[in-house]
Amino acid sequence: MRYFFAIEPNAQAKLNIDHWRNQYLPAFDHPVPVGNFHITTAFLGEVEQDKLEVICEHIDKQHLPAPFSLTLDQQGYWSKPKVYWLGCQNVPKGLLDLVKLTEKAGKIAKINLPKRPYIAHLTLARKCAFEPASALLAPEFTTPITELGLYESISGKSGVKYLKRFSWTLPNKR
C-alpha cells in the first residue's frame, strides 16, 4: 500500500481554490478532484504494516507544532511530471517542522525517501500537455492547518483516491 503524510486546506479553502481554478485557468483534461487537495509533507511510497506501526508510534511520541496558517499564493508548473500547482511564497515554520518530523518517521522505519528539496505545493492538475498561462487573478488562499494526516493512495477505475488512515491534531500551545 502506498502512503504519504500531508496537511489539508479546510473545506472552504478547497472550494475557493476550485472556484478560482474553474474561473481563472483554462479547463484541464486531468484536474485533481477537490477531495484530493493536500500538501504532502513526506511521500513514503509502499509501506508494509509493521513499518506503518513504527511510523505511527514515532509520530505519537513527538511534540507537534501548534496550528498555523498557510497561504497558497504562487502558481507553478513542472514540465517533467506535467503538473500544475499552487504553492507558498513563504512556507510557515510549522509546515517545515512537520516536514522534518514526517521525514524522520520514514527514516526510522527504514524507508528510502526521495532526496530532493522540499517544495510545498497543492497539485491542481496532472498530465498537462503544456504549461498553462498564469491566471489573470493571482491566487491567494489562506487556510488554518490544525492536523497532520497519514494517507493511503488507492488507484481505481475512476482515478486515485486518498484516504486518511491516521491523523494527529496539532496542539494549541500556551
Contacts of 130 (CB under 8 A, 6+ apart): none
Give Cα 62 distance to the centre of its chain.
20
Contacts of 139 (CB under 8 A, 6+ apart): 17, 20, 72, 73, 74, 75, 86
Q: Which of 89, 88, 84, 91 is nearest to 134 (CA)?
A: 84
Catalytic residues: 38, 121
**CA–CA distance, 12 with 36 (Å, rounded to integer):** 14
